[in-house]
Chains A and B, each alone.
Chain A
Amino acid sequence: MTAVQNMPSRDTGQDAACRSGQLIRERGQHEVFCGLTSIMWLHRKMQDAFFLVVGSRTCAHLIQSAAGVMIFSEPRFATAIMEERDLAGMADMHDELDRVVEELLQRRPDIRMLVLVGSCPSEVIKLDLSRAAERLNRRLAPRHRVLSYSGSGIETTFTQGEDNFLAALVADGATQPAKAETASLVIAGCLADVVEDQFARLFRDLGIADVAFLPSRSSEALPAIGPDTRYILAQPYLGATAAALEARGAKRIDALFPLGEEGTTAWLKAIADSFGVAPALFDRITEAPRQRALSAMAHYRPWLEGRKIFLFPDSQLEVPLARFLFREAGARIVEAGSPYLHREHLAGELALLPDDAALSEGQDVDRQIDRCLAADPDLIVCGMGLANPFEAEGHVTKWSIEFAFTPIQGYEQAGDLAELFARPLMRDVILSGTRRPAPGGTA
């Protein structure tokens, strides 16, 4: 299981080297999503893929509670619900799965890629989905391609589901004949279509060719990866994907994540340097969008400057978001919580966080709520299980799942990203009848 390497490590020795701030490591109730939730955006990104969760009624209920507010004439995900008799004897579980897959493909013959998604129950009983995927692949290829990954809560937190999916895509590519030329640059991490297009234009203008995005929009347009491939992460939660890419010989380009003007410039600069782009060309190409990003930011900075912000763990985006809030919006970071800190991928981000910001990995939600209330922040970034209860107690919150669902990367989105944080503060002012933000500080 690729996800195992993503488990929080217990050693503490190296933390001090990363930064001087306070590190809180906790174990208690984790108020987070499991990796199955990543299906929510992956099914839209890759429209010819179908996600079949092998799990319990709880898993089915989770997905439809999240996505069922949209009305689907053709659902792109489903659950093979394990029943009592499946648990009685393991032998026929694979037959059962084959039958369910057959039923599904009969209804949806247009599916190109079938993704078997592991859950807590399927992993606790050690149902081997990777073997099932191999077997089904032999039978269904080339018409349908079958993959598997784990989205279970015991192994993965929220966006780690995407990490495992991408790692499975990369690993699977090894067994597939390469259709295209080997990509020279792979951008790893699901991005909004519009963001992808913007980056693709910038790469073209910088003269960088053979750029591929992972995941691709179609299951048939996956990039070929080899020792000549360099890759860069567009998302911070891709530990397993990075390992899978490296296993195929690709080399990582280290950079900040492309959030805000500073992050995007650093990210693009790292790529440009790696490909030997002349600094003058880089400056010329990025000058205008950088100015646009800065002027868009200027609208929202007055709302965020000097505000105390507390971030609960959710998606691993918290550290780059905190860096953006602190460096570009002038906010004060009380605590940035993350379900998992990938020290190597986040090294640049951590170095830019303010010294007085607490950093937490893992969670004991009750204690974290106590800390949060004691700090009395101006804005709490948290999941939807906590947001309305905080609001009802008079706090202003920004629900964090939106960062996984909104175009926030790149220059043109820098203002939008700042607005996501400023909006609840604006709304608070509107609804409580005040007219203007307090200049440069707490309300």
Chain B
Amino acid sequence: MKLSMWTYEGPPHVGAMRIAASMKGVHYVLHAPQGDTYADLLFTMIERRPSRPPVTYTTFQARDLAGSTADIFKTACREAVERYRPDTLLVGASCTAELLQDDPGGLARTLDVGVPVVPLELPSYQKKEHWGAAETFYQIIRTLAGNRERPAEIAPNSCNILGPSALGFRNRDDVTEITRLLERNGLDVRVVAPLGATPADIARLPEAAFNIVLYPEIADTAARWLKKTYGMPFTSTVPIGVHATRRFLAEVRALAGLPEAEAGDDGTDRMTWYARSIDSNYLTNKRVFVFGDASHAIAAARIAAEEMGFKVCGLGTYMREFAREVRAAAADLGVEALISDDHLEVERAIIEARPELVLGTQMERHIAKRLRVPCAVISSPVHVQDFPARYSPQMGFEGANVIFDSWVHPLMMGLEEHLLQMFRDDFEFNDDAQASHLHAVSPSASPSASVAAEEEDAAPVPAQGTAEDDMALWTSDAEKELRKVPFFVRGKARRNTELFAESKGIHPITVETLYDAKAHFAR
């Protein structure tokens, strides 16, 4: 049993639903108890789809357990095929139905529904959402494209895009951006799957020269199988960030046999100049903690370090399946990778790293709020505000522009940051107040609020238990001086000073120690 405050991924059948809901002509019959239809809301509310997801649930109840839940499943299957007339039927079980062991695959086979049936074995108590999506996508491709002849003549510039799906973080706009980019580079995009694909499209997958894997979490298994079965190569660069986009284009051009070319951005890359302009100077070496799914976390860490000039102080993912890739990226950046799906462990790591900005998922927003650290969302799991109406890709050159804006936004702007360091007791602009471009809050009349905030800063982590011991190390003058350090680097200053004092055997810490440590580490 595992205590879970927040979970980074849903159960695997939600992954299967994402594939079914991405495609056209596919229906999913899910053996599940009453209530599991909540998952429809992920699509109708969070993604704001205008149609019901193509899923029929058996929604059995307690009284059904005494009778035959297998019969309920068979009836649901028969009625779903009759009503929705899908080209392909997916059948599977949710976590509770898995305990009943009714074998949806076997039952569906005995029904002879007249369309291809893809039985899904998704172990709910071992695997999670992305695995469920990847497995479902792979099984659909095996069933529908398993015995195809590859055409003798295949245009070398023809490719498929694999991975974008319903409920994927900004997948809608990434596909638009990348398709446009590929077409400008002379590529011929044949099938995009699973998003928008029909079973007939899936059958056509082997007719392209190679595959572009935009989201390895969803499409890696399928791409490997297509390579093994049909010899189709696939791309390994995820085009998030300006550098990665250029590398991606070079990789794609090489796979397509196109001549090497200066990967042109057609003037759409504004991120490079924005990051270069002097206004961004103050971003240099700001400490960022990065956490998310594997591809977005790796891409974000590279952008942060190489394109924004941040200092990456932590990098991690909740996806064990891609631990190796994340560890390699972390090693490049000189940090140790955090591989964990335990929200509390991520919280501990963030506290330890004392970042000035957190780039994470919806779940890291909870941590950042608790620690009062600015935060931007870079990866799923996300909520409704990250399915925006406006064009907001993460990939390609426009994606980089979007990333620049959204990462810088939560940070305090340069002038405000300077003035805050100069004048600390302003009634409107002070440590207790948020960055003034974020919230319209008039100054509070109560001085107690700022006292509470100071106390919170002194001991931000009740669970850690060491904060109180540390207090004794500081003289009250030094403690007062520490509070003059701007709040977003104060945690770092505290820790550095304590490390410095410990290494020199200094006790207690005085104002001089504080400045000695400052000189020693130099920000």
Contacts and interface: CB of A to CB of B under 8 A. Distances in A.
A37 to B, nearest CB: 8
B14 A61 contact: yes
Contact of A99 (B1, B6, B36, B96): B1
Interface string B126-138: 1010000000000
Contacts of A78: 3-5
A342 B355 CA distance: 55
Interface string B332-365: 0000000000001000000000000000001101
Nearest to B465: A106
A56 B125 contact: yes
Given A57-B9, A385-B40, A86 B46 contact: no
B46 A103 contact: no
Indicate the size class of the contact surface on chain A. 35 or more
A82 B1 CA distance: 5
Contacts of A75: 5-6, 366
A121 B99 contact: yes
B353 to A, nearest CB: 18
Given A154-B61, A155-B62, A388 B35 contact: no
A54 B95 CA distance: 13
Contact of A391 (B50, B79, B365, B384): B50
Interface in B13-71: 13-14, 33-38, 40-42, 44-46, 48-52, 56-65
Interface in A123-164: 123-125, 152-155, 157
B57 A29 contact: yes
B168 to A, nearest CB: 16
A88 to B, nearest CB: 10
A253 interface: no
Contacts of A74: 370
A153 B35 contact: yes
Contacts of A157: 34-35
Contacts of B48: 388
A362 to B, nearest CB: 9
Interface residues of B, number: 65
A7 interface: yes
B65 A124 contact: yes
Interface stretch (A64-72, A206-214, A408-416): A64-72
Interface in B164-192: none
Given A29-B58, A385-B44, A81 B7 contact: yes
Contact of B37 (A30, A57, A61, A65): A30
B2 interface: yes
A435 interface: no
A57 B3 contact: no
Contact of A65 (B4, B41, B124, B125): B41
Contacts of A97: 1
Contacts of B402: none
B3 A33 contact: no
Given A61-B10, A154-B60, A154-B96, A33 B44 contact: no
B344 A107 contact: yes
A58 B9 contact: no
Contact of B10 (A4, A33, A34, A57): A57
Interface in B443-486: 462-463
B59 A29 contact: yes
Interface in B83-109: 83, 94-96, 99-100
Best-buried of A83, A154, A366, A386 by chain B (most CB within 10 Å): A154
A214 B370 CA distance: 32
B413 interface: no
Interface in B112-159: 123-126, 128
Contact of A154 (B14, B50, B65, B369): B65
A166 interface: no
A40 B433 CA distance: 30
B370 A58 contact: no
B76 interface: yes
Given A31-B40, A73-B370, A103-B3, A57 B11 contact: yes
A60 interface: yes
A120 B33 contact: yes
B68 to A, nearest CB: 13
Given A57-B10, A73-B366, A124-B100, A32 B34 contact: yes
B65 A93 contact: no
B34 A61 contact: no
A36 B35 contact: yes
Given A30-B37, A80-B1, A384 B44 contact: yes
A392 interface: yes
B125 A153 contact: no
A221 interface: no
Contacts of A123: 62
Interface in A374-419: 384-389, 391-392
A80 B3 contact: yes
Best-buried of A57, A62, A103, A154 by chain B (most CB within 10 Å): A57
Contacts of B40: 31, 385
A84 interface: yes
A100 interface: yes
| 8 pairs of A and B residues whose beta carbons are closest in the complex | A34-B35, A153-B35, A392-B50, A385-B40, A73-B370, A96-B1, A61-B10, A56-B95
15 contacts: A57-B124, A61-B14, A64-B381, A68-B383, A73-B369, A100-B1, A106-B463, A120-B33, A124-B65, A153-B96, A154-B34, A154-B65, A154-B96, A385-B41, A386-B52
Given A29-B59, A154-B64, 12 more contacts: A7-B63, A33-B38, A57-B9, A65-B38, A83-B125, A121-B99, A123-B62, A124-B99, A154-B62, A366-B83, A389-B44, A391-B50
Interface of B: 1-7, 9-11, 13-14, 33-38, 40-42, 44-46, 48-52, 56-65, 76, 79, 83, 94-96, 99-100, 123-126, 128, 344, 362-363, 365-366, 369-370, 381, 383-385, 462-463
